[in-house]
């Protein structure tokens, strides 16, 4: 199988810097959305490349966990990358990389969150992760609403 990708742009009202900084502090994300119940630091330091996090979340109404490594952080361009190491996604995908880039909206207030997922399916029977993309749109929207309140 070959590496594939899907992505979505989500317009938010928060500034790019504020949104990026909040998400980078992964331990706080559960306060902002009903989909994330918590995030534990297993190795490294919060918000640092190479750190390993255990996300506790609800996807399609079911509790799940995802063990991710922070692959990259670009503070200047508001980019974070996470590689999935363990969890349900690893049963269907050989590799899975999530990238979030937050940019100021051109010609207006607010920002645009670009959520990208690069993945390699185990075989043709595995569906593309569109439902997961929709999940992240909802998480981004709820986090934005929290930051504005």
pLDDT in tens, 102-126: 999 998 899 999 999 999 999 999 9
Helix (H) or strand (E) holding 148: helix 130-148
Kindly state the tokens that stand for 124: 């043709």
Calculate the dihedral angle through the C-alpha atoms of 32, 64, 67, 11, rounding to the nearest 10 degrees. -40
pLDDT in tens, 76-85: 999 999 999 9
The whole-model pTM stands at: 0.93
């Amino acid at each position: 199988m070959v590496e594939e990708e899907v992505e979505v742009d989500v317009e938010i009202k928060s500034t790019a810097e504020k949104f990026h900084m909040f998400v980078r502090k992964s331990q706080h994300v559960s306060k902002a959305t009903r989909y994330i119940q918590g995030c534990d630091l297993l190795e490294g330091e919060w918000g640092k490349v190479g750190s390993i996090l255990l996300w506790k979340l609800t996807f399609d109404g079911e509790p799940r966990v995802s063990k991710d490594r922070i692959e990259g952080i670009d503070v200047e361009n508001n980019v974070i990358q996470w590689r999935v190491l363990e969890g349900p996604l690893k049963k269907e995908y050989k590799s899975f990389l999530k990238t979030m880039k937050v940019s100021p909206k051109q010609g207006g207030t607010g920002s645009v969150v670009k959520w990208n997922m690069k993945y390699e399916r185990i075989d043709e029977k595995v569906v593309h992760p569109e439902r997961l993309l929709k999940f992240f749109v909802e998480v981004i929207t709820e986090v934005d609403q929290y930051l504005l309140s």
